[in-house]
Amino acid sequence: MKIFCWIAFLLMVLIQFGCVQRESETPEKGVSFKLNERRKKTIDSIRYNIQLDIPGQKSEAIKGIETVSFNLNAPDSALVLDFNSDSTHIISIQSEGEEIEFEVANQHIIIEPEALKKGRNTLTIGFIAGDLSLNRSDEYLYTLFVPDRASTCFPLFDQPNLKATYALTLSVPEHWEAVSNGSLKSKTMRSGKSVFQFAETKPISSYLFAFAAGKFFKTQKTLNGRPMTMYYRETDSAKVGRNKDEIFRLHAKSLSWLEEYSGIPYPFEKFDFALIPSFQYGGMEHPGSIFYNESSLFLDENASVNERMARASVIAHESAHMWFGDLVTMDWFNDVWLKEVFANFMAAKIVHPSFPEINHELRFLLAHYPNAYDVDRTAGTNPILQELGNLKNAGTLYGAIIYMKAPIVMRQLERKIGVKLMQESLQEYLKKYAYSNARWDDLIQIIDKKTPLDIADWSKVWVKTPDMPVYHYNDSDVNRLTQNPDSVSSRTWQQPVHFAAIERKNEQFYFPNPDGTGYGYFQMDSVSKASFFETYNEFGHAILSKPVFRGSMLVNIWEGFLRGDGPAPDTLLAQVLSALPKEKDPLLTDYLLGRLQSLWWTFLSDESRSKYQSEVEKVTWDLLNRTADKGIKKSYFRTFKRVALSADAYGKMESLWNGKLVIKDLALSEEDKISLAYELALRASGDVDAILQTQMDSTKNPDRKARMQFVIPSISQDEAKRDAFFESLKKPGNREKEAWVLDGLANLHHPLRAKSAVKYLRPSLDLLQEIQLTGDIFFPTRWTNTTFSGHSTSEVTNIATKFLQEHPDYPYFLKNKILQAVDMPSRAAKLKR
Ligand SMILES: [Zn+2]
């Protein structure tokens, strides 16, 4: 009995000890913050030497040999490398020529401390590269390793604060080109293949390491003494010829501007860029080897001023990253917003002066504030600087708060401390942390030293807490705007807030935030709101006649409307309709038309829609015909086809679609015809199948044809077919073309079909976690937003609430995405008339 007890005790100890051991030895999947911190403390001076043998067939495996050498300060626990691919892809690991033992678990390679020593270690790893982030097609491949995808290809320490040098050798089919971060040291032939050997890079973060190889054309140019090579795939040589000099010029100009602003010469050894068809983003800032989406750089002959500015902006943005992000990198991905906001900030300074015809203040207002508010007013909002427990969730940090609110806050900071101090602070920051990593707080410290203002306090509120402030006119003193009591006690949102008080016909009107720079909701009295619309664009006043004033008022009135401060939906609809003919600015026209469509489908009941139907159709149709500006005309066309409901309007749409009716200066592309066919089909008054079949037959572009084939079942009049379409989305293979899936979801959940689509809501939420795992970083947000966008009943909000109640431990980031998506339907349910 004693013995039995003793054995049982021993067993218990062993089991417990075993558990504890196991936990400390096998890190969780991805890179946890804990693993990040431990490695940062114990490992430094990392150098990778990587050789990859790339076959001509994309189905064949890529074999690799890699030498990783590093300094180990404390070899007292297991070494963890990241390798997020098939565990059988690791062939061997040697240390100083000797095979060593290793374990592969949870996307990591684990090497016991006995096989390592304090000081310099060199491991040689034979492996098969994982294909997941290699974007392989028949004629080329390219890497896209941001944020933590390098480890899907080869073993490494995949975290941004372990910067390393990379020496890459690529063996590729004979006629392929190759480009990487390092400059080309040699190109030789070996066993019928071309071998590109690239020089060792400066220290860079793993997400910035990149290469592309394949059948690329290349062209070189030297400007300001800097040779640059452009790699591209476009076969239309006239198009290339038309664009290439301007592309080189824009790069040279951006780099010179940044050298001047930062006081630091271009920090990497060479500068090339590759233009890739259907690249996932506008661009990716790999040092020395930027990748771009080819179509955003090679413009068509009649490119609009907006397209030209977008091109200049993306080039300036990626160039700015060479300093902001590449030279000085965030320590952990929770600060990813910082590099994005600086890149945009610099791009605006570089590009805006070249486009004086664009109203940049208005553009900034309408591009940033409404989208930021759409998230910041919801229960699912987040601060700019977020907690991130594991790098595998880095994708969920991206959203409107990072892309839209952060630039507003950065502009505010520059206005607060002044342009000169901002530049000085950034210069010091870049010098101090060059080829290394820094946090937002490191920059704040630098600024705080230089100014008597309390920047740390300002940052605590604007960057580290969520939400937006609300202001009201002080009752005792109407000449003051006061911040409302805040959701967080004693939080003060430091920012200058202004208003304009105007007297007209012995009456006083108040217009808060007339220059549109203040961030928040500014409560406004109903008389001033009404007068804004009554006198829309008619004030002969220095401030009030500016487009940016109209933009600011429209955004603020919309905010008040959503918060239940009035006016009623049908009143606001009438006001928007009355403003449209008086608005000539394209940006403001688009904004008004956007509000018109939201009101129409989300905030008006069926009865109200029939009451206003003829007026809405008449106003948009008349303006579509009357407007001379081709861009604005197109905006009216898009709105008309979305709001049209009457038999008369259906007839007009059908005649536009089949070409029996032609409107002067309205050119309808194949894309427009397809969307007209879809709108006709959704209204289901004609022979839907015949319309869709005719459109399919006349669509020439094969990509668009394939997309139609995929999307058509989602518009079917037959509910069973729509159900089957939704059912098919549960298979990951059917969600690969994410843009197609979103088209389909928008059709399923179109307000005209919303009642029959309620049944898809719960299964869509059930799929969300899987969607995060299988999809691109933006897909979970787009999936939830599109799913809920057509709905406006409390039944729908209840489905989301119930789902979250049943999953109390649901991942924080995804929960927020759901709360953001149901915000608008729940407001609509309350306000609908
Ligand atoms: Zn960027």
Mind listing the pLDDT tens digit for each residue in 409-450? 999 999 999 999 999 999 999 999 999 999 999 999 999 999
Number of CB atoms found within 10 A of residue 101's CB: 10
φ, ψ for residue 204, nearest 5 deg: -135, 160
pLDDT exceeds 90 at position 300 = no
Q: What is the mean pLDDT of residues 767-788?
A: 91
Query: Does the pLDDT value for residue 298 go beyond 70?
Result: yes
Tell me, in angstroms, the distance from the centre of ligand 1 to residue 336's CA. 9
The encoded tokens of residue 685 equal: 């008054």
Residues 6+ apart with CB under 8 A from 744: 710, 711, 713, 714, 725, 729
* Residue 532 confidence (pLDDT) above 90: yes
- The Å distance, Cα 777 to ligand 1 centre, comes to 14
List, in order, residues 6 or more apart from 751 with CB less than 8 Å away.
601, 602, 790, 791, 792
Secondary structure, 3-state, 199-219: CCCCCECHHHCCEEEECCEEE
CA 407 to ligand 1 centroid distance, Å: 12
Distance of CA 637 from the midpoint of ligand 1 (Å): 33
Residue 324 DSSP symbol: B
Q: Is the pLDDT of residue 7 over 60?
A: no
Cβ atoms within 10 A of the Cβ of 36, count? 22
Q: What is the pLDDT of residues 662-714, one digit of tens each?
A: 999 998 988 899 999 999 999 988 789 999 999 999 998 888 899 999 999 99
Please state, rounded to an integer, the average pLDDT across all residues of the chain.
Answer: 93
User: What's the rounded Cα separation, in Å, for the pair 553 and 516?
Assistant: 8
Distance 144 CA to ligand 1 centre (A): 13
Residue 141 CA to ligand 1 centre (angstroms): 22
- Cα 709 to ligand 1 centroid, rounded to whole Å: 34
CA distances from 777 to 393, 399, 737, 771 (A): 9, 10, 14, 10
The Å distance, Cα 285 to ligand 1 centre, comes to 7
pLDDT of residue 74: 87
Q: Give the distance (Å) from ligand 1 centre to CA of residue 317.
A: 6
* Rounded distance between C-alpha atoms, residue 78 and residue 591, angstroms: 57
Contact 161, 332 (CB under 8 A): yes
Tokens describing residue 289 = 């080897």
C-alpha 671 to ligand 1 mean position (Å) = 29
CA of 279 to the centre of ligand 1 (A): 14
Q: Which residue has the tokens 């890497």?
A: 143
CA distance 470 to 481: 10
Residue 195 has pLDDT above 50, yes or no: yes
Rounded to the nearest angstrom, the distance between the alpha carbon of 632 and the centre of ligand 1 is 30
What mean pLDDT is predicted for residues 475-482? 74
Distance 479 CA to ligand 1 centre (A): 42
CA of 322 to the centre of ligand 1 (A): 10
Structure confidence at residue 66 (pLDDT) = 98
At 425, is the secondary structure helix, strand, or coil? helix
For residue 267, report the distance from its CA to the centre of ligand 1, in Å: 17
| pLDDT at 716 > cutoff 80 | yes
CA of 338 to the centre of ligand 1 (A): 10
Q: Give the per-residue pLDDT at 478.
A: 65
Q: How far is the CA of 411 from the centre of ligand 1 (A)?
A: 17
Confidence of residue 475 (pLDDT cuts 50, 70, 90): low
Residue 281's pLDDT is: 86
Look at residue 621 in the predicted model and tell me its pLDDT. Answer: 98
Q: Could you tell me the distance, in angstroms and rounded to a whole number, from the CA of residue 399 to the centre of ligand 1?
A: 13
Please name the residues in contact with 230: beta carbons below 8 A apart, sequence gap of 6 or more.
Answer: 218, 219, 220, 221, 244, 247, 248, 272, 273, 274, 275
Q: For 626-650, what is the mean pLDDT?
A: 94
- Distance of CA 341 from the midpoint of ligand 1 (Å): 8
Query: What average pLDDT score do residues 788-813 get?
Result: 96
Q: How far is CA 779 from CA 153, 341, 504, 739, 786, in A?
A: 22, 22, 50, 9, 10
CA of 547 to the centre of ligand 1 (A): 29
Those residues whose C-beta lies under 8 Å from the C-beta of residue 147, and which sit 6 or more positions away, are 207, 333, 336, 391, 394, 395, 777
How many degrees, rounded to 5, is the angle at CA 258 between CA 256 and CA 263? 100
Q: Nearest CA to 494 among 566, 429, 417, 420?
A: 417
Instruction: Indicate the SS3 state at residue 480.
Output: coil
Coil/strand/helix, residue 472: strand
Strand 289-293 with 271-276, pairing: parallel
For residue 217, report the phi and psi dihedrals to the nearest 5 degrees: -85, 160
pLDDT tens-digit map of 361-401: 999 999 999 999 999 999 999 999 999 999 998 888 888 99
φ, ψ for residue 600, nearest 5 deg = -60, -50
Q: Stretch 543-549: mean pLDDT, rounded?
A: 88
- CA 633–ligand 1 middle distance (angstroms): 33
CA 754 – ligand 1 centroid, Å: 37
Distance in angstroms (rounded) separating the CA atoms of residues 562 and 577: 18
State how far Cα 352 lies from the chain centre: 22
Gap between the Cα atoms of 386 and 440, Å rounded: 12
812 CA to centre of ligand 1 in angstroms: 25
Q: Which residues contact 172 (CB under 8 A, 6 or more apart)?
A: 54, 178, 193, 194, 195, 196, 213, 214
Ligand 1 centre distance from Cα of residue 591 (Å):
26
Collapsed DSSP state (helix, strand, coil) of residue 95: strand
Q: How much distance in Å is there from the Cα of 20 to the middle of ligand 1?
A: 42
CA 57 to chain centre: 33
pLDDT score of 5 more than 50: no
Q: Is the pLDDT reported for residue 1 higher than 60?
A: no
User: What's the CA gap between 522 and 184, in Å, rounded?
Assistant: 57
Tokens, residue 395: 């994708």
Q: How far is the CA of 284 from the centre of ligand 1 (A)?
A: 7
Report the pLDDT value the prediction gives residue 12, as an integer from 0 to 100. 44
pLDDT reading at 192 higher than 80: yes
Q: Comparing C-alpha atoms, which of 124, 142, 4 is closest to residue 64? A: 124
Distance 301 CA to ligand 1 centre (A): 27
Burial of 716 (0-12, 13-18, 19+ CB in 10 A): buried
Q: How far is the CA of 343 from the centre of ligand 1 (A)?
A: 6
- CA pair distance 386, 189, nearest whole angstrom: 49
Angle between helices 670-683 and 647-658 (to 10 degrees): 150
Task: Give distance in angstroms: CA of 330 to centre of ligand 1.
Answer: 13
In this structure, of 534-548, 603-617, 797-811, the range with the lowest mean pLDDT score is 534-548
- At residue 87 the predicted structure's pLDDT band, cuts being 50, 70 and 90, is confident
Q: Provide the 3-class DSSP secondary structure of residue 624.
A: helix
Q: Copy the structure tokens of residue 151.
A: 């480890």
800 φ, ψ (degrees, to nearest 5): -65, -45
How many angstroms does the Cα of residue 319 sit away from the middle of ligand 1? 9
CA of 342 to the centre of ligand 1 (A): 9
